[in-house]
Structure 1
């Protein structure tokens, strides 16, 4: 075995320890483990299909349907069992066999989860009045869950969850906590029942999303990778970009983006693509740490890229309460800008080091041709989509739901045609990184695996396409049908190519079926960490619902920030980074969104910051994900360093330096929600994209100290200033012209009533604090409606009682949008009334885009000066 093989093995060991399990027992234990993995994947496919209802109806046995309603408990039972069997409990524990104490833990895990199914009727009959057996089972379940989290994910999530459990039991002893949260403590019975016997804790929304959606997407990615789709992504990226300056690094960015879109782990993404791209980057001259850092930065950013976003997109649907298509729309622009900027950073690094690309047989592809190919690809996909939509819309009145069979037939024909064409070319093999690196030709590489794109097309179609005759499917159903399509391709593509080549199909059929089985096993193994993590994250969510613990964190941050908005956001960013260390993407998002998002919403409103909730969740999610390459934990950096033979800490530091552009984006879209495509027209979206992209590229050039030539210190400052002007032109406009008219009393109501429907009405609410009685202020936003400001407020549960020039605010009605936000903050029944101190109505001002002109003039000056010093072409 070569040194390179040894380090590849080390990298895969890191993935095994972090994601899939480092234990590999033999004999009957191995068969049992693989059988459980298969059973879990088959169970998840079963409950996602229509089979439960069909079987229950055909047989009259309700058991088949009950499996769906009890799926969360079974899902966690599988996760706990596999976590116990796959991960040794401690470093010196046996890795080639399963010791007796793990069998005991498996039994306890099964007892504690299946108890909820067997005795579900009795438990439902005594809500909140938990029996002794309920409490004992809950305690056992909690302990087994935390042990499973420790062995599969390490200490970080265990520590966080344990702190919240301790807060539940002992937080009520603190007078400060009692005053802040009105929480007086909890008994053992109440707390454990809340965590385990109800759907408020472990078996809450997070585990539900893991059960119904996340597993299917992870399984889809595992099947795609096992069938050869992951390697096809890498080879296409190398063929497309490999011959450019610093080509392997650019290919690493592109391939990591493509695999990261459907991957649930930045660590696995790093190894999947990095095993091939990191050695290539080193061969053309990248230092080990920079080669690893490029892969880490691009792999972590894959978790921020729609449509899957490491499965966090589907959690956002539940937590932010917006349609899935809106989550994709809001996340799209920042992700694309971030990746293009990373490509540019790689290009600048290559320029600074004077690097070239890989050798390429045949004609080299220029930058303009690559852009043209991308544009052609998007136009082609759009044309195909509209063609299919038109066909189904035409057939719908004639065939009704039967038109789906025509679409499936067309998909089958397209698959057969693509496989027939692919059969004319050699199979896409995994190259040996030790061989002389050569960029493959694009046409045979692209066509040779184009059929792998069909299941992704099915997934995106079902998630996003909607017309008058067709409805989008739910994410769970979309993933199910895409997975079925992927299973069909995994099983059939090898024998079909053999038939088209006139070869024997026996071995190819066996290999295709083997890929299917191995994909099912890999999907289950990849879900172990996610399954137990979403359960453990439910402990945090359950603690918050029981105690209001997030208010404590908010109070601490409010005191430290002193009401300064930028300090507040910086503190939240740092805490999100810390909380995200060592957590898989899904648990990462649950933790940071549960703890940090409410802080920005509540404390930010006191400082006058009112932004859409999706912007807040995207802010904390971005910083949580950046923990994957941030020392000292940065597991993705350790995986990359194992391949590159570089220093893991320096790899993480360099990766974070590359990711500064990503860390900048959340601050920008908090203050400029245009970046999230919120309330923008199509033309405005194009302008926002172009200007934001230029700004991000200038920011990247400034951080690299190189533009057309090596930058002087003052040129770097000017580039940063230009980037700021392009990103936040409204900042300069606000300095010379107040963005709001500040109105009080009845005059404010009259002015607000003149607003157009949907226009924002910002209001500053002032009154005595519910706990301290001291005056406090917060800003809320309501949209104008029907030319009557009071009616618009009533629609949101807000009732005004004008007294002279004072607008007294009554307590919001229960169940309305502002009840929880205001009723828990203000004393509406004290001596001092709660009032709307002022309305802040947007003024009609000159467009903020006016400030683009001086920015571009400054940019022209910098380009003129640097072009005179340039010693090599910019591209």
Structure 2
């Protein structure tokens, strides 16, 4: 594809991406203000993350006010058809933005005065605290709809009003409104707390890094490289979608951004090759969803996960790489099967030789190399992102279109605009997280989920998946992950850790320190721990340990590094399941965006994307029951390889097709072989047998395809 064509497609993608939010033209006075405000605010954030020494609470407040001002002007309160109506709306939006600025200035200027009064609210404290919360609600409403504001209002009123009228485990005696407002506005645990801090540090710097990469031309290079690498295979345009979305995801970490940037190229190509339009849109949506799973950015999820688990960011992205690859391969299997079934032959993509493309664009990879190298060397993610931004500019000087001052300013402005809605979302969700911390409802919810599941890890995962789907109807992926992780991660962590504990009890290797817990509960039964026991006996013994003692028991029995990986597994399960809202009807924005490009029915496209994205449900089970996270290198590679074949076998079972049609018996056999390969057991012979069965099925299917081809040629 020519550079002119790629640039035209990129322009269309940017228009599609901004269509839903931006209602004011960039050339207008408001557009110019947003541009320069974005430039200045991006520079301010770079300062905050490098040389700045302001208190974190103040920086979080500045972060909120600046992006509230930008967002209020980018996304109008109402859409008006008349000029007078638009002027009035602009005045109201400007007032909202200015009010947000004053809320932050008041916090910075009068925080000390509040503490000097013994944390007793003055009249203006009430005014600005309420105003800040209402602005946060309004910004969330504009960018994501009514779900988040309603959820926040419900959470806040639960604390000071209606929680006291509830009986049972969810009853809460209540706090005063003054206390709730203090903890929400002035406290470093509320809307300007840890989630806001993640927003102005990690998330902003990486979104800015992505904006610089795209402006430098790296996005065009990624798409063209993907076309050269995968475009000449059977069903190549489908593989271009998978590969291109994966590589773009490593830059943007946004599923919708991936869809509109790669979909305008890949969906028409897939249709031209012979893929059904609905399938082409579904593949693009499913592949773009993987962008949030693909290191190094992973949306905002990796940064929030690092904050929750206290596991270094670089460790998280290194562990997430193979699971992300497994997901993209699973989407690729659907592409291969549909290509064979639909006879979607490769189309001429008008690409240059891959060596020539790489020779012209190899420098676009340098910033990613710098980023990964700095992270591995031990630098903080924000510092690594800052140096990588500089490396983007420097590496662009090796290209035919070096970045100049105007390009740098455009990147700064675009990074701020890309961040505006995300910043408002994260600040707003911080209010919900604060309520969970204030009330202890997270522990209550975790205990309730465990009780409903009857101690079953599988049922717990199913409940979390159901909750993620329901939350995903109204919450973006990042918000859904934050809420679910806050509520259900403790339950998942405990159940996964108990599997390890039971295996130690079965083997008779429980440390003596941990045995003292059982001695306190039942000294007679504790004597049985000295020797190996059956799994059922171990489960029964563990059941007699009170919940209050189980956390201490796990810490005594299991090594700290193993517990850390167990906690990461719990968060990874929730993070992966949170992605399903992108591709699962009735609300699946990524699938709807792909449907708009393909001109297919949105709901039907959503169901197709849901089918193609089955890896979102399979891989979390591997996190829970295997050593895919935290295992030895051989364990991780073994799980990866067998799961790769296993998922392909399950795809064949679901589709009734590999290289040629499978009858009902062969479909069942393919499904059984897939389950055997992924079943959490250590019997290597069984897994090898399952793999052998699938390889024979594939060979038989391929042979049938060749026979059919020969017959067709002879008949022709």
Common fold: TM-score over 0.5: yes
Q: Decide whether the 8 Å contact of 1:21 with 1:83 is kept in 2.
A: no
- Distance, in Å, in 2 between the alignment partners of 1:24 and 1:94 is 16
| Larger Rg computed on CA atoms | 1
Cα 1:857–1:290 change in 2 (3 A) is closer
Instruction: Identify which of 77, 99, 110 aligns with 1:89.
Output: 77
Other structure's SS at 2:300 match: helix
Match of 1:545 among 437, 452, 475: 437
Query: Residue by residue, what CA displacement relative to the aligned partner does 1:797-833 show, whole Å, maximum 9, x if unpaired?
Result: xxxxxxxxxxxxxxxxxxxxxxxxxxxxxxxxxxxxx
Structure in which a larger fraction of residues adopt strand? 1
Contact 2:166 2:172 in 1 (8 A): no
1:499-578 equivalent positions in 2, closer than 5 A: 512-554=404-446, 557-558=449-450, 560-578=452-470
C-alpha displacement of 1:479? 0.6
Q: 1:637 to 1:853 in 2, by over 3 A?
A: closer
Partner of 2:546: none
Paired position in structure 2 for 1:208 = 197
1:169 to 141, 160, 175: 160
1:28 paired to 2:33: no
- Alpha-carbon offset, residue 572 of structure 1: 1.0
Instruction: Using the TM superposition, give the Cα deviation of residue 161 of structure 1 relative to its aligned residue in structure 2, in angstroms.
Output: 2.1
CA drift of 1:865 comes to 4.6
Return closer, same or farther for 1:301/1:444 CA change in 2, 3 Å cut-off: same
Q: 2:618 is matched with which residue: 664, 669, 678?
A: 664
Structure 1 gaps of 5+ residues are: 53-64, 360-436, 466-471, 498-507, 731-846
Per-residue deviation, 1:128: 4.5
* Change in CA separation of 1:128 and 1:28 when aligned onto 2, cut-off 3 Å: same
Cα separation, 2, equivalents of 1:45 and 1:37: 12
107, 124, 134: which one aligns with 1:133:
124
Judged with a 3 Å threshold, the aligned counterparts in structure 2 of structure 1 residues 151 and 10 are, in CA distance, closer, same or farther, namely: farther
Do the aligned partners of residues 868 and 488 (structure 1) sit closer, same or farther apart at CA in structure 2, a change above 3 Å counting? closer
Partners in 1 of 2:191 and 2:77 — Cα distance? 22
1:854: which partner in 2? 689
Alignment CA distance shift 1:85-1:693 (3 Å): same
Say if 2:355 is the partner of 1:443: yes
Shift of 1:210: 0.9
| Matched residue, 2:177 | 188
Partner residue in 2 for 1:152: 143
Structure 1 counterpart SS, 2:192 = coil
Q: 1:108 aligns with which of 92, 99, 108?
A: 99
Match of 2:128, SS?
A: helix
1:452 corresponds to 2:452 = no
| Structure 2 match to 1:725 | 676
8 A contact 1:201–1:538 mirrored in 2: yes
> CA offsets, 1:425-468, max 9 Å, x none?
xxxxxxxxxxxx42332122111111111111110111124xxx
Report the alpha carbon displacement of residue 115 of structure 1 after superposing the two structures with TM: 1.3
Of the structure 1 ranges 151-160 and 249-258, higher mean CA displacement relative to structure 2 is found in 151-160
Counterpart position of 2:645 = 694
- Residue 240 of structure 1 is matched in structure 2 by 229
Alpha-carbon distance in 1 for matches of 2:643, 2:577 = 20
User: In the TM superposition, what is the alpha-carbon distance from 1:526 to its structure 2 partner?
Assistant: 0.5
Within the candidate set 598, 607, 627, 2:581 is matched to 627
In 2, distance between residues paired with 1:110 and 1:11? 32
Counterpart among 291, 296, 310 of residue 280 in structure 2: 291
CA distance in 2, matches of 1:67, 1:546: 23
State whether residues 628 and 635 of structure 2, in contact with CA within 8 Å, keep that contact through their aligned partners in structure 1.
Answer: no
Match of 1:300 among 280, 289, 308: 289
Query: Deviation string for 1:362-419 (max 9, x for gaps)?
Result: xxxxxxxxxxxxxxxxxxxxxxxxxxxxxxxxxxxxxxxxxxxxxxxxxxxxxxxxxx
Separation (CA, whole Å) in 2 of partners of 1:726 and 1:581? 34
Q: Counterpart in 2 of 1:870?
A: 705
C-alpha offsets along residues 273-331 of structure 1, whole Å, 9 cap, x if unaligned?
11111111111112221111111111111101112111311111110111223212331
Displacement of 1:512 in angstroms is 3.1
SS state at 1:130 partner: coil
Q: Count how many residue pairs are aligned between Structure 1 and Structure 2.
A: 639
Give how far 1:519 is off: 1.1
- Which is helix-richer, 1 or 2? 2
Contact persistence 1:206–1:538 (CA under 8 A): yes
Are 1:225 and 2:214 matched, yes or no? yes
User: TM-score, normalised to structure 2's length?
Assistant: 0.83
| 8 A Cα contact 1:581 1:628, kept in partner | no
Query: Where does the alignment leave 5 or more consecutive residues of structure 2 unmatched?
Result: 1-6, 500-538, 543-553, 555-562, 710-716
User: 2-side partners of 1:122 and 1:849: how far apart?
Assistant: 68
Q: Contact 1:352/1:706 (CA < 8 Å) preserved in 2?
A: yes
Partner of 2:90: 99
Q: 1:591: which partner in 2?
A: 483
TM-score, structure 1 length as denominator?
Answer: 0.69
Q: Which residue of 2 aligns with 1:461?
A: 373
- For 1:127 and 1:618, the matched residues in 2 are separated by 42
Distance change (3 Å), C-alpha of 1:687 and 1:551: closer
1:240-389 superposed matches below 5 A:
240-359=229-348
Deviation at 1:530, TM superposition (A): 0.9
Matched, 1:488 2:384: no
> Retained in 2: the 8 A contact 1:79–1:528?
yes
Distance in structure 1 (CA, Å) of the matches to 2:261 and 2:61: 32
The residue number in structure 2 matching 1:800 is none
Moved over 6 A (4+): 5-11, 93-96, 603-611
